[in-house]
């Protein structure tokens, strides 16, 4: 029995078989958030922070797109500059000012991972479907109430 367990573990390590009790080889999102969540037009800067698990350095670019207005594209960086305190630590950061003419409402920022060829990074979900590696961050824009 002990020999079978060692043999199974070795097979998992060599071939990376699905369902093996080893850490996932594919990249994934650990956390994604926007601070603050409730935004006011014209007087706020927003910090977007995304933490990744990417053991093999597959992801070279993260980009956020506001789903309600796909012309708004927000790059995120892991280069140790600005609000990103340490380069290549798997924590990607983006900063943006809320425009004074931003419309009120509820919005989704869809964050997509890309590889060195500029292609979306693909991963398998629990149902074994191959899908782009994306996550969403929701936020709300409200006008200040008149005093």
CA dihedral 46, 117, 67, 87 (to 10 degrees): -20
Q: What pLDDT does 22 receive?
A: 36
Q: What pLDDT does 24 receive?
A: 67
pLDDT digits (tens, 9 = 90+) for 11-41: 333 334 333 333 468 999 999 999 998 999 9
For residue 75 the two structure tokens come to 């790059």
- List the beta bridge partners of residue 34: 48
Rounded Cα distance, 63 and 50, in Å? 11
Exposed / middle / buried, residue 51 (Cβ in 10 Å: 0-12, 13-18, 19+):
middle
For residue 117, what are the contacts with CB-CB under 8 A and spacing of at least 6? Answer: none
- List the beta bridge partners of residue 45: 97
Rounded Cα distance, 57 and 111, in Å? 17
Rounded Cα distance, 8 and 54, in Å? 25
Taking only the tens of pLDDT, the chain with its 147 residues reads 443 334 333 333 333 433 333 346 899 999 999 999 899 998 778 999 999 999 999 999 999 999 999 999 999 999 999 899 999 999 999 999 999 999 999 999 999 999 999 999 999 999 999 999 999 999 999 988 764
- What is the DSSP pairing of strand 105-114 with strand 122-124? unpaired
Domain annotation for the chain: domains and CATH numbers: 26-141 (2.60.40.1930)
Q: Are 64 and 48 in contact (CB under 8 A)?
A: yes
Rounded Cα distance, 76 and 39, in Å? 19
């Amino acid at each position: 029995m002990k020999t079978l367990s060692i043999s199974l573990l070795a097979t998992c390590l060599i071939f990376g078989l699905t369902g093996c009790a080893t850490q996932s080889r594919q990249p994934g999102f650990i956390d994604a958030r926007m601070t603050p969540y409730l935004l006011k037009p014209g007087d706020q800067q927003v910090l977007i922070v995304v933490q990744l698990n990417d053991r093999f350095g597959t992801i070279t670019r993260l980009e956020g797109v506001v789903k309600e207005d796909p012309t708004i594209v927000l790059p995120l960086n892991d280069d140790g500059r600005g609000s990103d305190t340490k380069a290549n630590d798997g924590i990607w950061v983006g900063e943006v000012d809320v425009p004074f003419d931003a419309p009120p409402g509820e919005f989704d920022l869809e964050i997509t991972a890309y590889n060195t060829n500029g292609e979306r990074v693909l991963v398998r979900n629990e149902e074994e479907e191959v899908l782009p590696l994306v996550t969403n961050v929701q936020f709300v824009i409200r006008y200040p109430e008149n005093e």
